Structure 1
């Protein structure tokens, strides 16, 4: 069959999510150090064409919402042809580690990390 099992696709999204969070200076270790975890509360995936085993792919991820939830969109493409393989989005919410309380507002630490990447208009 030589096709990636659909259940493995979230692993590719995780690579994109980790990269975008590290780019803003908020890695998993930094999240824990700041007292927050960010569990996924919603994951949506649209499969466009099958991904082949060992096929090189390009994963593009971007933060599109951060006011009450953290929403990241993804595009996975065949690296060689540029063809779209899938698009997806994930939503995460801040969770205070010490109390396990979900926050439906963005903690100041994330706003601070995002500030250098936002235009003056927001």
Structure 2
């Protein structure tokens, strides 16, 4: 299993009038977890783009369990699911660090496309890097 943990402190701008993290901002936190996952592999998302591959979100799901509030320290876990043949899926879990309460779970599915918009299988360079990371566990 390839996974990575990212920590993030909720800023005031993440919250709504009720003082809790606005629901759509969890998708930003998913993106943060995903980007840091790639960076941890030694491959920033911009490096993937430079190799001619884009990873648009094709599907997103978010299950809200408990609210996060201003100044909460969050633990974002991104887990790569390599079972898709024609894309990449990340599963996410976000918990509050202070009480380890799980706040949100979800996933995103990503197509692999060329800059011209052609859908392709995950490229070899990406799968080799992911495979090396999985073998370290």
Alignment of 1:66-85 (within 5 A): 67-85=85-103
- How far apart, in 1, do the equivalents of 2:43 and 2:59 lie? 20
Q: Given the two structures, how large is their TM-score scaled by the length of structure 2?
A: 0.79
Alignment of 1:59-98 (within 5 A): 59-65=76-82, 67-97=85-115
Structure 1 residue 71: Cα displacement:
0.4
| Maintained 8 Å contact 1:34/1:109 | no
User: For 2:48, which of 12, 28, 31 is the aligned residue?
Assistant: 31
Greater shift, 109-118 or 8-17, is seen at 109-118
**Unmatched segments (≥5 aa) in structure 1:** none
- How far apart, in 2, do the equivalents of 1:96 and 1:88 lie? 26
User: For 1:113, which of 118, 122, 129 is the aligned residue?
Assistant: 129
- How far apart, in 1, do the equivalents of 2:76 and 2:63 lie? 14
Runs of 4 or more consecutive aligned structure 1 residues displaced over 4 Å after TM superposition: none
Q: Given the two structures, how large is their TM-score scaled by the length of structure 1?
A: 0.88
**Unmatched segments (≥5 aa) in structure 2:** 1-17
Greater shift, 53-62 or 82-91, is seen at 53-62
Superposed CA deviations along residues 83-109 of structure 1, whole A, max 9, x for unmatched, are 000001010011111x22122x22112
The DSSP-based 3-state class of the residue aligned with 2:91 is: strand
The DSSP-based 3-state class of the residue aligned with 2:24 is: helix
User: What is the aligned length?
Assistant: 117
- How far apart, in 2, do the equivalents of 1:55 and 1:118 lie? 30
